[in-house]
Amino acid sequence: MPLRAVLDGEQTESFAYVPERWAALKASYKSRSLVTACCGERAIPKVSKRGTQFFAHARRG
Ligand SMILES: [Zn+2]
């Protein structure tokens, strides 16, 4: 469950977002450059069942 990503070339951390900004990112990330910090795979902003904001990998393998 990656918590760090690179958004438009800038390091970003999912836990630093207030819910309103996280929702805005979820609405806009497809038209921006968002990749995970761990491997550079395309990332998707998500919220876990426990309410944790995180970046999911767009695909594995
Ligand atoms: Zn990764």
Note the pLDDT of residue 23: 97
Q: Residue 33 C-alpha to ligand 1 middle, in angstroms?
A: 15
Tell me the Cα Rg of the chain: 10
d(CA 25, CA 46): 10
User: Residues in the chain with pLDDT < 70?
Assistant: 60-61
Looking at this protein, which amino acid is placed at residue 38?
Answer: C
Q: Residue 57 C-alpha to ligand 1 middle, in angstroms?
A: 7
Q: What Å distances lie between residue 14 and 10, 22, 50, 61, CA to CA?
A: 13, 8, 14, 23
Helix (H, G, I), strand (E, B) or coil at 12: strand
Q: Residue 35 C-alpha to ligand 1 middle, in angstroms?
A: 9
Read off the pTM: 0.90
Q: For 21-30, write each residue's pLDDT tens digit.
A: 999 999 999 9
